[in-house]
Each structure stands twice: as structure tokens, then as C-alpha cells.
Amino acid sequence: MLELPSGAVEVEDLSPFAAAKRELLEETGYTSDNFVQTGILSPNAANHNNLTHCFLATDLEKIADLNLDDTEQIDV
């Protein structure tokens, strides 16, 4: 299965952008100073009120190893 880096906004995240930057680093080891918000989606508006914030990062730089949760298995 192919999947983009993703996750939830945590208490320590100041914004969805901060969460996206953190999740990208944790799940791939890459970061960037260039993020563009590409949209906000309601993935299941019929019975949930959550939103999905989508970002595109460019000019990536690998600065760390993966920092995965126990339930994650990711090959970058």
C-alpha cells in the first residue's frame, strides 16, 4: 500500500501546519522550509466533523532517521 505521510494534530502542535511539518519529519526524516497548503477536506462529512489539512513540501532535506510509533512500519 502506498500512503502519504499523515497524522493528527497533537496538543503540542500550534497549527495544522506545525503538525504536518512534525509528521513529515517523524515518518520520513525529511523537512523543508517550503510548505504550501493545498486544501482542506472533510473526509466523511456524513457522520464526522474532522477536517484533513493537506500540504505540499518542496526542497526537502533529510536531517534525521525515522521516528516511528510502535504500530508504524514505513519504507521511505
Q: CA-CA distance, 73 to 14, in Å (whole number)?
A: 27
Per-residue confidence (pLDDT) for residue 67, from 0 to 100:
80
- Mean residue pLDDT of the chain comes to 91
Per-residue confidence (pLDDT) for residue 48, from 0 to 100:
93
What is the mean predicted confidence (pLDDT) over 49-65? 94
Q: CA-CA distance, 51 to 64, in Å (whole number)?
A: 29
Question: Cell numbers of 11, please?
Answer: 496538543
pLDDT at 2 over 90: no
Kindly report the backbone phi and psi dihedral angles of residue 40, in degrees, each rounded to the nearest multiple of 5, phi listed first.
-130, 125
What is the chain's alpha carbon radius of gyration, rounded to the nearest angstrom?
13
What is the mean predicted confidence (pLDDT) over 45-74? 90
pLDDT digits (tens, 9 = 90+) for 5-42: 888 999 999 999 999 999 999 989 999 999 999 999 99
